[in-house]
Chain A
C-alpha cells in the first residue's frame, strides 16, 4: 500500500513538474524572452557564480576544519611523521593554487558577464605570460619531486640489518603471521605443501623452520626497525596500516617487503588518545573477494622488554604439530623427492637477536 502511495506521489510530482515547465515556456513566449538571445537569466547566473564561490568556499572551509581532527590517523612510525609533513606541505601548496584559480574563475565569470554594447578584449596570445606560467609551476613541481624522491628512496631502501623480521601471508580472507624463531631464520615454505594443518606450507624438513612460530596478532617492538616480508598464497592482497603509513601489495609468486620503525607503543597510543580500546589495525587494501572488507589483523606495538618476553614465550610451529613433523620425516625417509624450494626463505639472514639494539 505504502509503495502505491509513494508511486502515486511521484507521478503527481512529475505531472506538476511537467505543467510548470509548460507554463514557463508559454509565459516566456508571451513575454518575448523565448526567442531573445540574452535575457535576465544571464545576470542571474553571473551572480550565482559569485554566490557559488563564496557559499561553496565557506562550506568547504567549514567542513574541512570540522573534519580535520578526524582525518589524520594518529601516526606511529618514524617515516610517517616525515610523510605527514610532506603531505600537509603539498596540501598547502595546492591549496594556494586551488584558491587562486577558483577565485579567478568565478570572479571573472561574474565580472565579465555580458553587457549590452561592450566588446570583449581581443587578446589572443602573449608568449611572456605563457612562459611565466609554465616555469613557475615547473619549479614548484621540481621541488616537490625532489622532496618526494628523497623520502621515497629512504623509505624503500634496504632495511637495517638488525630489523625484526615478520612474515605476513595474505589469504582469502585473513592474514597469517610467522616469526623466524630463535635462529632468526625463516624456514623454507612452498605453496604445494599447504593444507589444512599447514597454512603456510612450511617445509618442516628445513632446519631453519624448526623454531618458526605462527601467531594471529602481530607483535612488534617499539623504536626498533621492523621488516615485513609479505606474501600471498592466492590472489592479490595489500598490507595497509594507516597509523604506520605503510602499504605494500601481497603478490602470489613474488615476495614483497616493507620496513618501518614504530615510535609509539599500543599502550602509549591508548593513553594519548584516551581510548582504552584503541588498536593499530592492518587492513587489506587490494580487492580480494567476498570478505575483502573484513580482512583485518591487529598490530601490537610492545615496549622492547615486553616484546622480548612475548617472543620468548611463543611455542614453535613444529612443537605444536608433532604429527605434521612426523609425516614430513616419514616422507624424507621414504625418499620422496623434495618439493621445489622457494628461494626466499634463505635470502635474508637477519643478524642475531643479541645484536639487536633494544
Chain B
C-alpha cells in the first residue's frame, strides 16, 4: 500500500506526524493524503520505504527481523556452551574452523566460555527480548490499537531503530575481537569488568559492550518516550484509558519502566567507563592484580550492583510485561471470551510496575549488603507474587467455559501461562533471603529466570508473531508447521529447564566452565548431557519457525482483514495498512475490546468501533443508557 513520503517529502512527513495529535481535523487530512499517495506508489524510493522509514509498522518489522537475527546468534552461543557443559571431557576439534584460536587442542578456551555466556545473556535480554519483543510490538501495535495514524514522532521512532541498529553493529563486531568479547557475565560486575588484567574480555570487548549499551539505552529512551506520548495523546475518539486493550496497557507501563530505569544503567555504564579509562575509583578499591597494587581506593563494587539492578530488575518486567499483554489479548480472542477481570489485570500490571522498582536488591542478598536491607527487600520481593498470581488466576478464568480455537498463537499463549507459573513459583524460593544463601548464583537461578522471563517472554513473542503476522505481511503463517514448532519448543523448554532445577538445588554454580573439579557437582554428568541434548534440540526446532516466517512472508496463504474475528482496532484496517493506517477516517471507539460471545449478539464478537446503538439486543443495562 502507500507510504507517505518519497524523498522530497521527508520533512513534510515529520510535520504531518507531529500534527496528528493536535487537531482531529488533521486525521482526515492526513488520511486523504495517504489515500492520494497510492497513485504515486511507483515514485517512492525503496530506501525511504523500507530502510529509513518513519512508518511505525515498518519500524516494528525492522525491530522484529533484527531481533530474529540476534536470537539465532544468541541461541548458537548457548548451543556452544551447552556442548561444553554436557561433554566437558569431549573434543571440540571439529569446531576449530569456526572458532579458530578459541579451541586449543580440542578444548574450548575457558575465557571464551565466559564470553559465550556473557554475550548469550546480553543478546537475549537486551537485543532479543527488549528490542526484539517490546520494540517490535510496541511499535507495530500501539498506533494501530489506539487508533492513531502513526507514533507521536515518526522521526524519533526511526532514530530509535537506527540507534538500536548502531548498537547491534558494535555488539556484533565485538564478537570478532582478538581479545574476545566482554566476558564478565551479562551483569558486568566490576572490578572484573573494569580490569583488562583480570580477564582479556574486559579490554576492547568491554569497551565496545559499554558503547553499544549506551546507544541501546538511547534507542530505548527514544522509543519509550514515543510510546508513552502516543498512548496518552493520540488515542482515537472514544478510546478512554479504560477501553484500551491490555496489550496497550502493558506496552504503556513497560515504556514507563524503561524511561525510569534505563537512565540509571546509563549512569552505571558511564561511571564504569570513567573507572576504566580516566582513573576514577567509583567501583574500585584495594586491588592487587597482575603483580601490581592499583592506586584506586574508596570505591565500592556493591554500588555498581545497586545501580545495575535498579535497571536490571525492572528490566525483567520490561521483558515480560509486553508478553503478558499480548497473551491476554490472544487468550481472550481465541477463547472467544472476555478477558476475566479486565480492571484487576490493569491493577496487577500497575502493581507489578510499582513493585518492580523496589525489589532490585534481592539479587544482592549475599553480596555483602547490610542484612537489614535484605529483610526489607525480601518482604517487597515476595509481595510481587500476589499481583503475579492474580494475573495467572485471571488467565485461567478466561479459559474457563470458553470456546477455544487452538491457533498457533493461542497455543503459545497457553504455553506462556504454563511457563510463567513454573518459573514464577520458584521465585518464591529465591526471593526468600534465607533460602537464597544456598541458591544464589546456582543453576536454580538459571532455571528460574530462563523459565519465567526467558522462555515465557519468547513464547509471548511467538504468540505475537503468529497472531499479528497477517496484519504485518498480509499473509498467514502455516498453522501445521506452527503446531510442530510449538510442541517441540514447549516440550524442549521443559526438558531443559526442569532438570536444571535439580542441578541447582545440589548447588552447582552458574558460569562454571566445567563441573569436573568438584565431587559434589560431578554426580550430575548424565543430567548435564541430557540438558545439553534437549537444549540443542530445542534450538534447532526454532528453524521451523524461521522457515515458516520467511516462507509465509512471500508464499503464505493470503489473509483477510480480520482473520481471528478480533475486536481491536488494528483489524479494522485494510489487509495491509499503508502509512496512516486507515485509508479514510480513523474509526471512533465505543466499547471495551473484549465483547466476545456476548449474550444476545449475533456474531460472537463485537469490534470496538461498533456503537451501542447498533447492538440493542446485546447491550447490558448501563450500555443501553449510553446507546439512548
Contacts and interface: CB of A to CB of B under 8 A. Distances in A.
Interface of A: 21, 24-25, 28, 34-35, 37-38, 41-42, 45-46, 48-49, 52, 56, 60, 63-64, 67, 70-73, 83, 86-87, 90-91, 93-94, 97-98, 101-102, 104-106, 108-109, 112-115, 118-126, 129-130, 133-134, 137-138, 141, 144-145, 148-149, 151-153, 155-157, 172, 191-192, 194, 201, 233-236, 238, 240, 242-243, 245-249, 251-254, 256, 277-279, 281, 283-294, 296, 342
B340 A290 contact: no
A195 to B, nearest CB: 8
A72 B399 contact: no
Given A46-B406, A240-B507, 18 more contacts: A21-B478, A46-B404, A52-B490, A102-B421, A118-B403, A119-B403, A121-B402, A124-B341, A125-B341, A153-B375, A233-B287, A236-B192, A247-B440, A277-B519, A286-B441, A290-B114, A293-B517, A342-B286
- Report the contact-size class of chain B (Cβ under 8 Å from the partner): 35 or more
B280 to A, nearest CB: 14
B335 A289 contact: no
Interface stretch (B7-15, B128-136, B217-225, B498-506): B498-506
Contact of A102 (B404, B422, B483, B503): B422
B335 A278 contact: no
Contacts of A277: 519
6 contacts: A70-B502, A72-B505, A114-B404, A114-B406, A245-B438, A292-B513
Nearest to A29: B557
Contact of A42 (B406, B487, B604): B406
Interface stretch (B151-159, B160-168, B261-269, B428-436): B428-436
Contacts of A137: 385-386, 389
Contact of A253 (B198, B285, B335, B343): B285
Contacts of A138: 383, 386
Contacts of A192: 288, 293
Contacts of B374: 152, 156
Contacts of B435: 83, 86-87, 90, 148
B110 to A, nearest CB: 5
B374 to A, nearest CB: 6
Interface in B395-439: 396-397, 399-406, 411, 414, 417-418, 421-422, 425-426, 428-429, 432-435, 437-438
A253 B297 contact: yes
Contact of B366 (A64, A234, A249): A249
Nearest to A156: B371
Interface in B318-359: 335-344
Interface in B473-504: 478-481, 483, 487, 490-491, 494, 498-499, 502-503
A231 B126 CA distance: 33
- Which of A63, A157, A249 has the most chain B CB atoms inside 10 A of its CB? A249
A235 B302 contact: no
A108 B371 contact: no
B597 interface: yes
A207 B229 CA distance: 67
Contacts of B604: 119-120
B299 to A, nearest CB: 7
Contacts of A28: 480
A194 B404 contact: no
B524 interface: yes
B78 interface: no
Contacts of B417: 105
B507 to A, nearest CB: 3
A67 B525 CA distance: 12
- Which of A101, A112, A287 has the most chain B CB atoms inside 10 A of its CB? A287
Contacts of A292: 110, 114, 511-513
Contacts of B393: 101, 129, 133
B191 A121 contact: no
Contacts of B198: 172, 234-235, 288-289
B367 to A, nearest CB: 4
A133 B390 contact: yes
Interface in B197-232: 198-199
Contacts of B406: 41-42, 45-46, 113-114
- Which of A35, A45, A245, A246 has the most chain B CB atoms inside 10 A of its CB? A45
Contacts of B434: 83, 86, 148, 151-152, 155
A8 B284 CA distance: 55
A109 B414 contact: yes
B401 A120 contact: yes
Given A145-B382, A201-B288, A291 B487 contact: no
B599 A122 contact: yes
A46 B338 CA distance: 21
A56 B386 contact: no
B432 to A, nearest CB: 4
B375 A152 contact: yes
Contact of B437 (A24, A83, A289): A83
B392 interface: yes
B402 A120 contact: yes
B628 to A, nearest CB: 22
A45 B505 contact: no
A138 B382 CA distance: 9
A227 to B, nearest CB: 15
A19 B257 CA distance: 47
A87 B515 CA distance: 24
B298 to A, nearest CB: 8
A130 B344 contact: yes
B300 interface: yes
Contacts of A238: 366, 440-441
A192 B288 CA distance: 7
A238 B367 CA distance: 8
